[in-house]
Amino acid sequence: MNIQDYMMDNGDKPQYKEIVKWLWRLTFAGIIGTILLFIVLSFTNLPSVEQLENPKSELASQAIANNGEVFGRYYTENRVPVPYDSLSPNLIRGLISTEDERYYAHSGIDFRALGRVVVKTFILGQSSSGGASTITQQLAKLLFTGEKASGIMRVFQKFREWIIAVRLERKYTKEEIMAMYLNKFNFIN
């Protein structure tokens, strides 16, 4: 048997053409499925504009004396917000270099990092390929989606984080997002 006989299916059509057709069909079905998933998720319990403008925070309530001096704090988490201007440029550069090197170049989703994860993790099976979550996506998770889910729920959670991250990028400047992230993230873990 030669290669041409092997590649022919039922004697009239090359088998590889059918394989390519099915691959294209699967690709388009995946794209359409992803778009539909985004549309469906946009009607779920995503944060409203008001919630995006006033995200929950665990800031400490301060008890202030008549002379303006703080004499006590009441808190669940002892957090005092720090404005962006008070943050060290080294802290900001360090966070960007370790968490999101294209922070200033994307709008909430880093498609290059996402492509890297798809290829290295799902196709090549490498477990240490790094993540694709941007700082904005991590902030969306911290503020609105909660703890990491598992299985299929993680996929839905990830899509929700993408939608929220894009909305945060539209609502806030990069500096405001950075300050919110640094004021919310728990670096102990």
User: How many domains in the chain?
Assistant: 2
Both 88 and 179 in one domain: the answer is yes
Residue 21: inside a domain = yes
Residue 14: inside a domain = yes
Over the stretch 65-100, which tens digit does the pLDDT of each residue have?
888 888 887 777 777 788 999 999 999 999 999 888
pLDDT at 120 over 90: no
Both 37 and 92 in one domain: the answer is no
Both 24 and 95 in one domain: the answer is no
Residue 71: inside a domain = no
Both 109 and 161 in one domain: the answer is yes
Over the stretch 157-169, which tens digit does the pLDDT of each residue have?
888 888 889 889 9
At 84 the pLDDT is 93
C-beta separation of 109 from 133 below 8 A: no
Residue 69: inside a domain = no
Range of the domain at 167: 83-184
At 103 the pLDDT is 93
Both 97 and 39 in one domain: the answer is no
